[in-house]
Structure 1
Amino acid sequence: MNNQNDSEEEYVPPGKRLITPPDVVEIDPNMTELFHVGTQGCKVTRIDGIAHLTNLTSLVLRSNLIHKMQNMDTLVNLEVLELYDNKIHEIKHFSHLVNLRVLDLSFNKIKEIPDLSPLQRLEELYLASNDIEDMTNVCTLPSLRLLDLGYNSIRHITGVQSLSRLEKLFLGRNKIETISGLQGLRLRILDLQSNRIRSSRGLETLVDLQELYLAYNGIPKIEGMEALRSVNTLDLTHNYLTDTQGMQGFASLEFLWLSQNPIETFEALETLGALSRQYGVLETVYLEHTPIYDMPEYREKCLALLPSVKQLDSYSTRVRE
């Protein structure tokens, strides 16, 4: 039997092929945006062949097989760099990208946040779903408005206290046990769901907060939230709450999730009822999978307690029972 034809090309796995942006995108020397999603065809494995594209303001190479940040030193006009869902291990070779406003390195293999001080204009930083344990170095980003570090291994909230412009902070799915380090911030959205938090204290100074997500923690009672009068959305799903005491300050609350908490009596909703009657803005409440949810006349009693509510669980209250 003859050996396999020597002229046949040896198979090379996709991750080991040398594929650069010019191999998958038609290049115009004057182009300002370069966009390629690896799920639509060939996957880029190396950033190369674009150094001459000095007019680029947006470089998006999502869902590829890129292992290194490299060969971008000349792209000084870049404002958006998105390398979401690649194989990058280190944030490096970015010091010339001084005009960056948005940097997305989510879904990579990054373990450390380096000194990011060259990125003084950065407004949005996405580092979700990496292997980061320490967030301290975000402190060097004075223009930051949005920070997403969800799905990492962070245990302590650090580095954000000096970020006076920060409005949105996403730290869900980490290993945080204590809410701290947020004093003086003007956050509008804070996501701390799916952590290991046992107390809601630490939020006292966040008077501008509008959305607060604390679902899937171990909070037994509502504390330190008296000043959060601007919050309109509050998610406390799957905690250890037995009543609604401590909610009297939520003058703007419209949407509330209390599902999967051990609330056993309708009397436990009295504080929430007073809130509904006093301010009249509470529109949506979820109490599914609590002990009272399966009680007789659950719906009628809840609607009597909460006269402003227009949606109880998944059902409209347009026709009141």
Structure 2
Amino acid sequence: MVRLTVHLISKSSNYSKACRSESLQQYLKKLTHLNFSNKSIEDIDDLSMCRNLTVLYLYDNQISQICNLGFASNLTHLYMQNNNISCIENLSSLHKLSKLFLGGNIITVVEGLDELKSLKELHVEGQKLPRGEKLIFDPRSISRLSETLCILNISKNNIDEIWDLAPLQKLTHLYATDNQLQDIKELETVFSQWSQLRLLDLNNNPVCVKPKYRDRLITACKILEDLDGKQINELSRQFLINWKASKDAKKKLDDGKDIKEQISNPLTTDFHVGPQQPFAHDRSSSRTKPSEYGKPGVTFRTDQVQGDSRGRRSRGIYIPVRTGRL
């Protein structure tokens, strides 16, 4: 097993150049950058003498656990991508950490970031997940990161929704390529809340082939400058914004007309009113007065009307109905 120790640091070429003028202890106290990438390291030993360390490169190794970094209160950049890390842990003392690179590990849950009050960049792309699983996000960590995080890389993690990321309203860059995102309405809703988003890369997601995909996202993201590697022309953006505003206004007007018609004609919304059939007419209950001088004849309804021998009405009314041609 290869461990990152003070002894291993003393064998580095950088210390060899400085050893003539200072001791190892002095060298370690002054050390700000430490690069042990691609050294087959499996574990991190006690490095508490490196109290001024600000940048640590440990990518392309075989580290399985983040540990023994509690001393590094001045650390701002930590590069641990392409290792065997399965859990994000033991980072609570890194209050100055602004960039964290953990891509290419075997992490299944983004968690353990609650105390990282200065984190601006988080890279967790390409996790080696079990078949059929996706990367998920702990709400507590996302809530805390919402105050600081600007750049997020979650590409190649089988992610099919981003509702959990909605609180990250200070994001300026999102890299989410090669996932399973497909709900355009969900993306519009979430991205419209990220008022500072300037770069968005969703290449190789199912949503990219949806109708009006690019137009809809440009409209939702008011200051977006780059979508899927293509710059956004300001004139085109303004045209799309105006087009959407016009479309929404027309829809609102049409909806208002529909509601007004429903109020004015309530029966037409609930019943099918077919053509009215004429009422049956009993010829025996009517008599027709012949037309005179070419005038149309007049039919008098005498339903429920009885007359005496002199032709006077005893009850009912006469209803004149014109017949014939004019």
Which TM class, normalised by the smaller chain length? 0.5 to 0.7
- The letter of the residue matching 1:135 is V
- Give 1:174's aligned residue: 157
- Give 2:309's aligned residue: none
Is the contact made by 2:149 and 2:168 (CA closer than 8 Å) also made in structure 1? no
- Give 2:10's aligned residue: 22
Is the contact made by 2:201 and 2:227 (CA closer than 8 Å) also made in structure 1? no
- Give 1:205's aligned residue: 193
Shift of 1:70: 1.1
* CA 1:129–1:50: 2 relative to 1, 3 Å: farther
Is the contact made by 2:199 and 2:225 (CA closer than 8 Å) also made in structure 1? no
Return the index of the structure with the highest Cα Rg.
2
Shift of 1:52: 6.3
* CA 1:240–1:250: 2 relative to 1, 3 Å: same
2:210 pairs with 226, 241, 256, which one?
241
TM-score, structure 1 as length reference: 0.60
Instruction: Mark the runs of 5 or more structure 2 residues left unpaired by the alignment.
Output: 242-326
Shift of 1:24: 4.0
User: Cα deviations across residues 227-246 of structure 1 (Å, max 9, x unaligned)?
Assistant: xxxxxxxxxxxx33133452
Cα RMSD after superposing both structures: 3.4
Distance (Å, rounded) in 2 between the aligned partners of 1:278 and 1:241: 17
Distance (Å, rounded) in 2 between the aligned partners of 1:120 and 1:87: 26
* CA 1:25–1:214: 2 relative to 1, 3 Å: same
Distance (Å, rounded) in 2 between the aligned partners of 1:111 and 1:139: 18
- Give 2:48's aligned residue: 73
- The letter of the residue matching 2:199 is E
* CA 1:275–1:119: 2 relative to 1, 3 Å: closer
Is the contact made by 2:199 and 2:227 (CA closer than 8 Å) also made in structure 1? no
Is the contact made by 2:195 and 2:221 (CA closer than 8 Å) also made in structure 1? no
Shift of 1:155: 2.3
* CA 1:91–1:278: 2 relative to 1, 3 Å: closer
Distance (Å, rounded) in 2 between the aligned partners of 1:98 and 1:66: 22
Distance (Å, rounded) in 2 between the aligned partners of 1:24 and 1:211: 40
* CA 1:256–1:114: 2 relative to 1, 3 Å: closer
1:113 corresponds to 2:88 = yes
- The letter of the residue matching 2:117 is P
Is the contact made by 1:31 and 1:55 (CA closer than 8 Å) also made in structure 2? no
Aligned length: 219
Distance (Å, rounded) in 1 between the aligned partners of 2:78 and 2:228: 32
Shift of 1:203: 2.5
- Give 2:171's aligned residue: 187
- Give 1:55's aligned residue: 30
TM-score, structure 2 as length reference: 0.59
- Give 1:89's aligned residue: 64
Distance (Å, rounded) in 1 between the aligned partners of 2:61 and 2:83: 5
Select between 239-248 and 52-61 the one with higher mean Cα deviation: 239-248
Shift of 1:214: 1.2
Shift of 1:31: 9.2
* CA 1:132–1:256: 2 relative to 1, 3 Å: closer
Is the contact made by 2:34 and 2:57 (CA closer than 8 Å) also made in structure 1? yes
Distance (Å, rounded) in 1 between the aligned partners of 2:60 and 2:46: 19
Distance (Å, rounded) in 1 between the aligned partners of 2:27 and 2:235: 64
Q: For residue 161 of structure 1, give the secondary structure of its aligned residue in structure 2.
A: helix
Richer in helix (by share)? 2
* CA 1:191–1:157: 2 relative to 1, 3 Å: farther
1:155 corresponds to 2:138 = no
- The letter of the residue matching 1:208 is Q
Instruction: Mark the runs of 5 or more structure 1 residues left unpaired by the alignment.
Output: 1-13, 33-48, 220-238, 260-271, 280-321
1:216 corresponds to 2:204 = yes
1:98 pairs with 65, 73, 94, which one?
73
Q: For residue 10 of structure 2, give the secondary structure of its aligned residue in structure 1.
A: helix
Select between 67-76 and 101-110 the one with higher mean Cα deviation: 67-76
